Structures are given as C-alpha cells and as structure tokens.
Amino acid sequence: MKTKTRVLIFIAVFIILSGILAYASTIELSPADAQSLNQNVKSIPDTVLGIYENNVQIALLEFVPVAGPGMGVYSSYDTGLALAGIAQSNSASGLSGLEIFFVLLLTPIFWIEFACYSLAVEESIAVIISFKNRDFRTREWKWLIGSVLFVVATLFVSAGLEVDLINFIPR
C-alpha cells in the first residue's frame, strides 16, 4: 500500500475515533451508571505499569485484522462514556463530559495515545489489504512489526506522562 494511502487512512481513523469519543462524552447517564463508570476508571492503577498495561491491551487488539477497527470504535465509545461518567458523578467540578474531552485535547497524552490507536487500526486495515494484494509476506509484515514496536514503546512514554499529570493535579 502506498504511504499516501496509509496517511489518509490514519487521518480518517484519527478523526473518526476522536469524534466517537467526543460524542460518547455527551451521553446522559443514569446516576448509577455514571458512578459505576467512574469507579471503573478509578480501578485502573494510576501507576505507569497499570496505565501502560491498559493502553497496550487496547492497542494490540486494534491491530487484529477485521476486529481492530471494531475494537477502536468500541474503546473510543467506552472512553467517552467514562468521561461522561466522571463528569456526571463529580458534578461539583462543574465540567461536562465534552468539556473534559476538550481539556484532554490540550494534553499531549490524548494526541500520543490516539495516534497510537489510530496507527493500530490503520495497520489492521493495511494487513487486510495486503492479503488481498498478496504482498503481506513481501512488504506488509515489516510495517506490522515496526508499527507494533512503535506503539508499544510510545504508549509506555505516554503512560509516564499520564502518571505525571495525575500526580500534578491536586486531589
């Protein structure tokens, strides 16, 4: 597959996943669902390893051909619901889920993680196309390995930044 095609798919995936996240952050939840989602977020250990494991599991599933794009849509929607749950169960903050999404846009964490997730989904699509074009064994496997290694390493850096941000915010 040509590099230009890869870039266009990557950009489209990034925009779609971000849009799904933004949309899901606006969904009105029942108080019980909001509290449950808030507790689920709090159950992820706020350590580099805890955040890293969570994010890498998501990304590796997004690399799976055929299932990867679906996992990307699901994880973006679920993350948006988590933002809505956080906002609605902490109404004293005065922020809506969409406002929390916009705050995330100001952090490098969002851009790094969603670039990784978008790359994983793009690569899952590229693998399907490479099987159709019968060039997986000659070219695509190198892209796949390089992409997986890049995403795994980059998400570790992102987890470190996320822990720093969590520790920076007063509780």
DSSP state of 107: S
Tokens representing residue 7 in the block: 């870039």
| 150 vs 41, more confident | 150
Region 72-76: mean pLDDT is: 97
Tokens representing residue 85 in the block: 């749950």
Residue 3's identity, in one-letter code, is T
Q: CA 103, CA 96: separation in Å to the nearest integer?
A: 11
User: pLDDT per residue over 130-147, tens digit each?
Assistant: 999 998 888 889 999 999
Give the DSSP per-residue string, 61-79: HHTSTTHHHHHHHHHHHHH
Region 78-101: mean pLDDT is: 92
In terms of Cβ atoms closer than 10 Å to its own Cβ (0-12, 13-18, 19+), residue 72 is: buried
pLDDT band at 171 (very low <50, low <70, confident <90, very high): low
CB neighbours of residue 168 within 10 Å: 7
Q: Indicate whether 107 pLDDT > 60.
A: yes
User: pLDDT per residue over 7-31, tens digit each?
Assistant: 999 999 999 999 999 999 999 999 9
Are 37 and 86 spatial neighbours (Cβ–Cβ below 8 Å)? yes
**Extents of the domains making up the chain:** 3-166
- Full-model pTM: 0.92
- Per-residue pLDDT at 60: 98
- Per-residue pLDDT at 102: 96
* 3-class secondary-structure state, position 169: coil
